[in-house]
Structure 1
Amino acid sequence: MVEAQQKRKRVRNGGNSLEMAQFIDAGSNKIKKRIRDLERLLTRKRDSLPDTIIVEKERTLEALRLELENAQLRTRIRRNAKKYHMVRFFERKKALRRYKQALKAVEESEGDQKCKEDLVQKSIDLCYVVNFPKAEKYIALYPTNDGDTASIKTEGKRTAFRDLVAKQLKEGTLPVSLEDILSGKKLDKEGVGMTLEAVGADQKPDIVDSAPEDDEFFE
C-alpha cells in the first residue's frame, strides 16, 4: 500500500496539474485514450514544439501511465472482492474458530509446548485470510481437492504467501495485526493487503484471474 501511495503522490505532482486533475481516479479507458493522444502528439510534432511544451507533455504522460496503473489496480481489487468474497468469508470464520480452539487447548493444557506451536500456526492461518493481497487471485487456505493437478501447482504459491504472513506476524508488520483481527477489524478500503516483495517471482500468483474452473475456491 505504501508503494501505491507513493505512486499516487508522484502522479499528483507530475505533469500539468490542471490537466491531470480530470484523470485522478478516472477509468482506464479515459486514461488510455489521453495517453494515446499525447503519444501521437509527441511523435508527430516533436520537432516543431517548444522544448518547454515537450517536457510538460512528457511529464504528464508519465503521470498518466502511473495513474493508469492505479486505475487497473482498483479494477482488479473490485473484481477480486466480488469473486472471492464468499470463500474469504467462510475461510475467515473457519480460521477464527480453529484459532479459538487452539487457544483454549493452550489454556487447558497449562502451556503445553505442542499446543503453543499449534496456536502459532492457527494465528498464521487467520492472518493469512485477512491480509491476503486484494489485487491477487485468492489462493484458498483450505482447498477442497488437494489431490488434483491445479492444487499441486499452486501449493508452492500458497506456502510462499503463508511464510510471508508468518514473517510479518513475527515482525509485527502485517497490515492488520492479529490483535486487530481478534477485535473484528479487517483491511480498510484503501488497504490492499500484505506486500509481495518477499515472494519469489516464480511463486507470485498471476495478477490476471484465470478461468472459473481454475479458481482456487474449488480446489
Structure 2
Amino acid sequence: MGPSRTDAASSKRPSMHKKNATTTLSMSEKTPGVSKLKAQLRQTRRLLAKDNLAADARVETERRLKSLQKDLEKTEIANKERVLAVRYHKVKFFDRQKLLRKINQVKKQTPVDEDQLFALRVDLNYVLHYPKLRKYVALFPSTTDGESRRENAGKTEADAAREEVRALIRGQMEKGEISRTPEAGLPGSGRG
C-alpha cells in the first residue's frame, strides 16, 4: 500500500488559488470598480429623489453622492492611466533603451558634447515622465514605405505634441523638479 496524503500534510502546502483569491479581494475592496460605483450612485440618487426623506438623512446622502462622484472620477482616471501604460509600455521601453545607449556613447567621447548630452537627457526624462493621461508620442517612430506616405500629413501634429512635452520636461529640469541625470538611477546605464 502506497503512502496516503493526510490533512496535516496537505495543509502545509499553500494553495495558489487561495492566495490569488485573497489578493484579488483585497484589491477590489480598496478601490471598487466603475460599475459598482455607478450602481451606488444610482442608488443614492434614487434615495435623494424620495420626497419623504428626513433632513439629516438627505444631508448625509448628498455628502455620500459627492464622495461617490469623486471616487468614480478617480477610478476612471486610474483605469485610463492603466490602459495607456499597458498600451505604450513596449514603445517606451525601446525609446528608453535607445536613449541610454546614445547617452553612454556621448559620455565616452573625449570632448563630451554637453548640449547633445543635455538634449538626450531631456529625451530620457520625456520617456520617464510623459503625462500619464496622454497618448504617448514616440521619439523614434518606426515607419515603413506605405506608412510614411500616410504619416506625412499627421507628422506635424505628432512633432508639435512631442515638442510641447519636451518643452515642459526641459522647464521642469531647469527648475530642479526633475533629475538632470535621469540615467543614473536606471539599470543598464553603466554598461560599457
Percent identity between the two aligned chains: 32
Number of the residue aligned with 1:35: 41
Q: Which amino acid aligns with 2:108?
A: K
After superposition, the C-alpha distances for 1:60-92 in whole angstroms (9 at most, x for unaligned) are 111111111221122112212221111111000
| Backbone CA RMSD of aligned residues | 2.1
Task: Give the whole-Å Cα distance in 2 for the aligned partners of 1:180 and 1:150.
Answer: 30
User: 1:167 & 1:69 partners in 2: Cα distance?
Assistant: 29
1:80 aligns with 2:91: no
Which of 56, 75, 95 is matched with 1:71 structurally? 75
Give the AA of the match of 1:103.
Answer: K
Cα distance in 2 between the residues matched to 1:57 and 1:161 = 42
Q: Which position in structure 2 is the counterpart of 1:141?
A: 139
Q: Secondary structure at the match of 1:159?
A: helix
Structure 2 length-normalised TM: 0.72
- Aligned residue number for residue 56 of structure 2: 52
The answer to which structure has the higher helix fraction is 2
Change (3 A) 1:167 1:128: same
Residues 1:182 and 2:188 aligned together: no
Q: 1:142 to 1:120 in 2, by over 3 A?
A: same
* Partner SS, residue 148 of structure 1: helix
Q: Is 1:127 the counterpart of 2:131 in the alignment? A: no
Residue 23 of structure 1, CA deviation: 6.8
1:27 and 1:151 mapped to 2: Cα distance?
A: 38
Q: Are 2:121 and 2:182, in contact at CA under 8 Å, matched by a contact in 1? A: no
Question: For the residues of structure 2 that align with 1:128 and 1:180, how far apart are their CA atoms?
Answer: 10
Structural mapping, 1:156-171, within 5 Å:
156-171=160-175
Secondary structure at 2:78's aligned position in 1?
helix
Quickly say closer, same or farther: Cα 1:23–1:68, change in 2 above 3 A: farther
Alignment partner, residue 25 of structure 1: 31
Corresponding residue for 2:6?
A: none
CA distance in 2, matches of 1:32, 1:23: 16
Distance in 1 of aligned mates of 2:103 and 2:119: 9
SS in 1 for 2:125: helix
Quote the Cα distance in structure 2 between the aligned partners of 1:25 and 1:130. Answer: 26
For structure 1, the 5+ residue unaligned runs are: 1-21, 186-219
Q: 1:57 to 1:181 in 2, by over 3 A?
A: farther
Give the Å deviation of 1:24. Answer: 4.4
**What stretches of structure 1 move > 6 A for 4+ residues in a row?**
none
TM-score relative to the length of structure 1: 0.63
2:34 partner letter: S
Amino acid at match of 2:153: T
Q: 1:133 Cα deviation (Å)?
A: 2.2
User: Which letter maps to 1:30?
Assistant: K
Partner Cα separation in structure 2 for residue 87 and residue 161 of structure 1: 17
Query: Which letter maps to 1:84?
Result: Y
- How far off is 1:153 after superposition? 1.8
Opposite residue 50 of structure 1, the aligned amino acid is A
